[in-house]
Amino acid sequence: MKWYHYIICFFAGVFLANFVPHFIQGISGNSFPSPFSNPPGKGLSSPALNVIWGIINFIIGYILLRAGKVTQNNKWNLLSFFIGAVTMSILLSIQFADKVH
């Protein structure tokens, strides 16, 4: 494996973790912050926009997952993927902690 595969795996985890809240809130019919809201990341975006944003994150994450060659047999790539997912999950929990309901 090349060194950049680990970076690709990390960002695969980041994008796939970011997919979850936007997609779930969107398909649940809830407005939720997105980069397209006003102010970005603080205001609320429509459920449809969040579904679209979630799907975009999913597609990018999947492409990176494949490019990073994440498999059960490659433990270092898998670890890099999980570190990316955990990092993004923690950052999202901090970002959305004060979300208006």
Question: Tokens 């970002």 sit at which residue?
Answer: 95
Q: Is residue 65 part of a domain?
A: yes
Cα separation, 8 vs 17, whole angstroms:
14
For residue 99, what pLDDT is reported?
Answer: 67
Q: Is residue 41 part of a domain?
A: yes
- Quote the number of domains for the chain: 1
Q: Is residue 101 part of a domain?
A: no
Q: Is residue 51 part of a domain?
A: yes
For residue 57, what pLDDT is reported?
Answer: 98
For residue 96, what pLDDT is reported?
Answer: 84
pTM of the model: 0.89
Q: Is residue 99 part of a domain?
A: no
Q: Is residue 100 part of a domain?
A: no
Longest CA span, the chain: 45
> In which domain, by residue range, is 83 found?
3-94
Mean pLDDT by 10 residues, the chain (101 residues): 91 97 95 90 91 98 92 89 96 82 54
For residue 100, what pLDDT is reported?
Answer: 56
What amino acid occupies position 62? Answer: Y
CA atoms in the 13 A half-sphere facing the CB of 50:
24
Cα separation, 97 vs 101, whole angstroms:
11
Q: Is residue 23 part of a domain?
A: yes
